[in-house]
Amino acid sequence: MMKKLPTKQLFSLVMITLLFSGAKMHASNGSEQGNPLSVTPCDEKTVIECDTVYTAELVPNAGFWTNYTDVPYNYTGSEQVFEFTATSSGLHVMDLDQGAGDADFMLMDACANTAGNITGFYWTGEQSEYLELVEGTTYYIIADLYETSDATTVSVKVNCIGDVVIPEPDFDCFQGLGIAPSIDAAFNLDPLNPNTFVANDFTVEGNTTFALQQISISTNQIQVPDHGVFNIREDNNGIPGDVIEVIEADVTSSILYSVLFDEPVYHVIFDLTETVVFTEGTFWLEPKITTPQPSTVWWAATENGTDGAITMLSEDGGTTWTPLAAESIFFVAGECGTLGVSDLTSVDIDYYPNPVNEVLTIQSKETIASIDVYNLLGQIILKSSTISDGKIDLSALNSGIYLVKATFDGGLVETLKIVKK
């Protein structure tokens, strides 16, 4: 499935997810009250502020509450209430640590175990939780011990990030819906799905050039991405066509600015080491993004507004494409220019034979600095910085279609499509 589920559909999946992340499934006996002590949990609450660590010792059977709204598990009645009032609207990250025991955390809209459960479930373990909070609203983080747990010391910290504004690219020329009015969906960019592609378009006007130097996209997952491979496809009557360029780049910076489906949304910037020049036409950006520890990366999207054509999905390796119900959030940025009669935006290049059996010859008046050969999935197959008489040995490649990216002294790039027999 390409689109993440809305929050209201996630609750049935959360229990399964928590099982595989080390959470315990607990049985409930329906009890709502613990020991009738004289001091209520709300009387002993801890009022907390931004960016400060607070701790509390939880002792079994030392409190009142044994279960909570929307949480089907039993607790010992050892609760500690942390009261937090948001000083600004926007993103907040809660760092929670259950300590050596088995403590859970509930986020309630009032100081009571039967109050409204804001998340609709519970948090456990040592992890960060991402939430959009509202300025002036008071929230209650309640920590409690699962019924079979021994005493433990929990810690809570609320990182107040607030309303982060994504800046426009620092280039004279850029396009794309990189600053979206809302974030509503996300599409899978996992390189482990080799036949699944997601693409969105950008356009170069007539008689102009666009020197692409930066790509930025919004992604939705726990880890910050570290690397991207971007296939650039030509347009085929309003849908993505053949791959004409392959661009690889490391992440140069990222901004944590929102939350979607309980996971962070990052504005991730890729500064290109080589400028790729486009002339008049519509082109399609198709990313595959990785993280330091392999995980699925999701391309965040909005259902409010479009820039050009809607996001397109292919699940058969690019043979057929269907529109998705949201616009992916991205910028392509660089320098735009007017195409004159003497404007040399590309290199005069010749290559043969095509199809090729073993050796491909590339001829140009410009000096070739390096050659990279990619398959149509954007994976680099061959890399060479030594070109002898313009000849490249492709005998080791399997039969198929490949892209040969030639980088010339001065930074200009040409991408050639070849057929290997």
pLDDT band at 274 (very low <50, low <70, confident <90, very high): confident
**Is 29 part of a structural domain of the chain?**
no
Q: Is residue 88 part of a domain?
A: yes
Do 57 and 189 fall into the same domain?
Answer: no
> Using 50, 70 and 90 to split pLDDT, how confident is the model at 385?
low
326 in the same domain as 214: yes
CATH number at residue 101: 2.60.120.380
Residue 346: pLDDT band by 50, 70, 90 thresholds? low
Q: What is the CATH number of the domain that holds 371?
A: 2.60.40
Residues 305 and 416 in one domain: no
pLDDT of residue 22: 39
201 in a domain, yes or no? Answer: yes
Q: Where does the pLDDT of residue 109 fall: very low under 50, low under 70, confident under 90, or very high at 90 and above?
A: very high
pLDDT at 278 exceeding the cut of 50: yes
Whether residue 192 is contained in a domain is answered as yes
Per-residue pLDDT of 28-76, as tens digits, reads: 333 344 444 456 899 999 999 999 999 999 999 988 999 999 999 999 9
Whether residue 18 has pLDDT greater than 80: no
Is the same domain home to 201 and 276? yes
Statement to judge: residues 144 and 247 lie in one domain: no
The whole model's pTM is what?
A: 0.75
If one compares 389 and 395, the residue with the highest pLDDT of the two is 395
Say if CB 401 and CB 418 are below 8 A apart.
yes
The domain of 287 spans: 173-338
- Among candidates 96, 178, 192, 89, which has minimal Cα distance to 142? 96
For the segment 312-337, the average pLDDT, to the nearest whole number, is: 94
What pLDDT, on the 0 to 100 scale, is given for residue 14?
Answer: 38
pLDDT of residue 199: 97
Q: Where are the beta strands (DSSP E) in 146-226?
A: 152-162, 173-175, 185-188, 197-204, 208-220
Average pLDDT over residues 382-403: 81
Residues 157 and 182 grouped into a single domain: no
My answer on whether 191 and 57 are in the same domain is: no
Helix or strand (DSSP H, E) at 47? strand 46-48
Q: Assess if residue 33 is contained within a domain.
A: no
Q: Are residues 45 and 123 in the same domain?
A: yes
Structure tokens at 289: 């993004």
Count of the separate structural domains present in the chain: 3
Of the three residues 338, 357, 387, the one that is the final residue of a domain is 338
- Same domain? For 199 and 274 the reply is yes
Reply yes or no on whether the pLDDT at 203 is more than 50. yes
**Higher pLDDT, residue 237 or 11:** 237
Domain boundary among the residues 140, 162, 184 is at 162
Residue 11 banded pLDDT, cuts 50, 70, 90: very low
With respect to residue 403, please indicate whether it lies within any of the assigned structural domains: yes
Q: Are 213 and 128 in a shared domain?
A: no
User: Is the separation of the CB atoms in 311 and 301 below 8 Å?
Assistant: yes
102 and 122 in contact (C-beta within 8 Å)? Answer: no
- Decide which of 338, 369, 391 is a domain's last residue: 338
Q: Are residues 208 and 328 in the same domain?
A: yes
Q: What is the DSSP string of 272-340?
A: EEEEEEE-SEEEEEEEEEE-SS----EEEEESS--SSSPPEEESSTTSS-EE-SSEE-EEEEEEEEE--
Q: Are the beta carbons of 26 and 123 closer than 8 angstroms? A: no
Average per-residue pLDDT in the chain?
86
Q: What integer pLDDT is reported at residue 27 of this predicted model?
A: 35
32 lies in a domain?
no
Nearest alpha carbon to residue 242 among 205, 203, 197, 211: 197
| In a domain? residue 124 | yes
pLDDT of amino acid 270: 98
Residues 273 and 385 in one domain: no
